[in-house]
Amino acid sequence: MIHQEAFEWYIAVYLFLAGVGAGSMVVAAVADMYDREKYISFIKAASFIGMPLVSLGIFFLYIDLGQGMWKPWLLIFLFVNPTSAIAWGTGILTIFTILSGIYAAHNLGYIKVGCKRCLCWALIVTGICTAGYTAVLLGVLKAIPFWHQTSLPILFIISATSTGISGAMIVKMTILKSDANIKPIETAHLYLLVLEIIALIGIVLIALQGVPEMQYSIKQLLVGDSAFAFWVFLVLAGLIIPAIAFGMHEAGKLHLNVKSVVALEALVLVGGYFLRHLIIHAGVYTQKFTEYIVR
Amino acid sequence: MNKKYAMAYVVDRCIDCKACMVACKAEWEVPEDHFRTHIDQGMKEDFHGKTRMDFLPSQCNHCDDAPCVTVCPTKASHKRDDGIVYVNRNRCVGCKYCIPSCPYEARFFNHDLGVAEKCTFCLPRLAEGLEPACATTCPGNVRVFGDINDPTSEISMVLREAKNNRLKIYKLREDLGTKPNIYYIQN
Ligand code: SF4
Ligand code: SF4
């Protein structure tokens, strides 16, 4: 089996940061429509990271470019092919970055937006599209069977929302030093972590029954070269430990102080990065000489 | 009718000398760590349970429905009227997206130039009336290049003859819908 080598950690960082930025904005916009007063500390925290993280993500994509980096005028061509997922992504990310910038400026008191509800809806739609796009980018490539599955966008959207909450929570608790009660968001975060675990199990089970290339990829993660990072950084640190801690906190069996919440949210972020990193690195090409024994 | 360039490999003649790989590399200053064409070794069992080894050339298939062309955001990768899938280096931003899109691993990234690279069927040589460097060099005459829309071209004749002799003629992974244009002829 031949590993793809074109996409490396730069792209993983890009997908991760775009996901965190988009996820935080989507949750902030939803919370805004429910009860702006109550969630204002979270909304402000998300406003701090939404646009900057997406922009930073785009920056990582940019420095991964070959000659596009030293010939920036070529970047205008990124929009020209309507069949390319990169062209869709460039469009979606441009719109989302502008909208999240406007929304952040509104929340931080620099400008006043007329129809905030319209803005929130637009953010929710473009934010979900941004998070989904980060998976569709990989998913449209049928040459890499492990990526070419519908469950990937679902997993990435769940993970983006969860890591988005984590990012905003960290800012809320450390920079804004707010201890406002936003329990429904914490509860939603717990559910998202559980959903992500279920989606990941689904992907594992499906890949284990998939074409040989898919089986090879998933075995790389479960028992192969990437097994340590998969089990420790993604599964344990990124999902199981936070889910158990938040679950016990939710049930009133564990008290979490600010430091431990921040640490747990940071673990979720680590898991979110490794999810992208591992999936990208586990991608192997479909085999071209199918009738021959592969050793 | 438009020209449609294609190549046929008479696989059984390949002796794995890799002269094609070297000729291509020398002709186009291909970066040190890459080749535009490869020879793989394939093992399989025949009907009698005996293992046999084949030497299998490969390169860009100049697909009619090329995933690399579909996913290239800049249209730097495009399908020409003569059938060649070509990367316009003045337009390629080097996003690398086309590289994992190719099911035949035909592409790689040229770090010196910052662009995606692959076989061009030696387009500049064709313009001079020459054949691709690999086809010219191959001592076993494995590689037959030409215009498949011209019934009198060498490739058309070789394919016709293979068909008449009931040899096996196939292309790689046609199930993917890429409509590749490299023919494998085998006994
Ligand atoms: S073989 Fe690969 S690089 Fe060549 S045209 Fe087909 S998809 Fe593109
Ligand atoms: S690397 Fe160049 S040729 Fe390949 S998809 Fe990007 S712009 Fe197109």
Provide the residue ranges of all domains of chain A, joining segments of one domain with +. Answer: 9-293
In ligand 1, which atom is closest to the CA atom of B85?
A: 5
Q: Is it the case that residue A110 has pLDDT exceeding 60?
A: yes
How confident is the model at residue B116, as a pLDDT? 97
Measured distance between the N- and C-terminal CA atoms of chain A, rounded to whole angstroms: 9
- pLDDT value of position A237: 97
pLDDT bucket at A294, cuts 50 / 70 / 90: low
Domain ranges of chain B: 5-63+119-186
Question: What's domain B5-63+119-186's architecture?
Answer: 2-Layer Sandwich (3.30)
To test the contact with chain A by mutation, choose from B72, B92, B95, B170 the residue with the greatest count of A C-beta atoms within 10 A, namely B95
The pLDDT mean for chain A works out to 95
Mean pLDDT of A129-155: 96
Tokens of B61: 């298939």
- DSSP code of B183? E
What percent of chain A lies above the pLDDT cut of 70?
A: 99
Q: pTM, whole model, 2 decimals? A: 0.94
Q: Which of A94, A279, A292 best probes binding to B when mutated, by most B CB atoms within 10 angstroms? A: A292
Contact A293 B44 (CB under 8 A): yes
The residue whose CA is least distant from atom 2 of ligand 2 is B92
If one counts every other C-beta atom within 10 angstroms of the C-beta of residue A136, the result is 20
Higher pLDDT among residues A293 and B33, named by residue:
B33
Per-residue pLDDT tens, chain B, 187 aa: give them: 899 999 999 999 999 999 999 999 999 999 999 999 999 999 988 788 888 899 999 999 999 999 999 999 999 999 999 999 999 999 999 999 999 999 999 999 999 999 999 999 999 999 999 999 999 999 999 999 999 999 999 999 999 999 999 999 999 999 999 999 999 999 8
- Residue A180: pLDDT band (50, 70, 90) is confident
- Give alpha helix (H) positions in chain B: 19-28, 67-71, 98-101, 123-127, 133-137, 154-164
Residues 6+ apart with CB under 8 A from A266: A166, A170
Q: Which residues contact B152 (CB under 8 A, 6 or more apart)?
A: none
Looking at all shown ligands, the one closest to residue A285's CA atom is: 1
Mean pLDDT (whole number) for A117-140: 96
Distance CA A277, CA A272 (A): 9
Q: What is the CATH architecture of A9-293?
A: Up-down Bundle (1.20)
Is the distance from the beta carbon of residue B87 to the nearest atom of ligand 1 less than 6 Å? no
Residue A132, pLDDT above cutoff 60:
yes
Q: A4 vs B99: CB contact, 8 Å cut-off?
A: yes
Confidence band of A269 (pLDDT split at 50, 70, 90): very high
A49 neighbors A21 (Cβ within 8 angstroms): yes
Angle (CA) B10-B11-B17 rounded to 5° is: 110
